[in-house]
Every structure is written in structure tokens, then in C-alpha cells.
Structure 1
Amino acid sequence: MQPDKGLEMTVALRETDAGQGVPGNFRALATFNFIYQ
């Protein structure tokens, strides 16, 4: 529920997307993070 955590999550997801280059994996990770929050 903190904006700081949300920003960090976005950065991590963005890095994964750039390294992997696969939208499928990126989406799965985003969903998991959202549930965790």
C-alpha cells in the first residue's frame, strides 16, 4: 500500500521485460506482485 514499493516493483518488472523480452513472463510477474500487495 506504499508508493515506494509500487515504484520499486515497476522498476524490477521493467528490467525483467528488457532482459527477457517476453511479454508473457512480464505479465505473470506483474500479476503475482499485484496479488502480493
Structure 2
Amino acid sequence: MLDLLFEIELPQEQQESHISQNYKLLKRRDNKQKKELK
């Protein structure tokens, strides 16, 4: 149980930057798909 807590307890900035990176990647892939659809 403690292990889980430690894994979740990432520094806040680190979590946010990780999330924003994923978001950027998703947006990029999204844009590619839209271009291919046209």
C-alpha cells in the first residue's frame, strides 16, 4: 500500500509537465489524422 502512495507522490510540476507532454502528443496525432482525412 505504501509503495502505491510513493509512486503517486510525484512532484506536482513533474506530473503537470508529463500531462502536458502527453496532451501535445495527442494533439499532434489528432492534427495528422485530420489532415489525412481531408
Name the TM-score, length of structure 1 as normaliser.
0.51
Runs (4 or more) in structure 1 with deviation over 6 Å come to: none
**Cα root mean square deviation, aligned:** 0.6
Q: What is residue 31 of structure 1 aligned with on the other side?
A: none
Alpha-carbon deviation of 1:16?
0.3
Q: Are 1:4 and 2:13 an aligned pair?
A: yes
Q: Deviations over 1:1-37 (max 9, x none)?
A: 100100000110000000012xxxxxxxxxxxxxxxx
Gaps of 5+ in 1: 22-37
Name the TM-score, length of structure 2 as normaliser.
0.50
Q: Are 1:20 and 2:29 an aligned pair?
A: yes
| Structure number with larger C-alpha Rg | 2
% same residue: 0
Which residue identity lines up with residue 17 of structure 1 in the other structure? L
Q: Of the two structures, which has the highest relative contact order with CA contacts closer than 8 Å and spacing of 6 or more?
A: 1
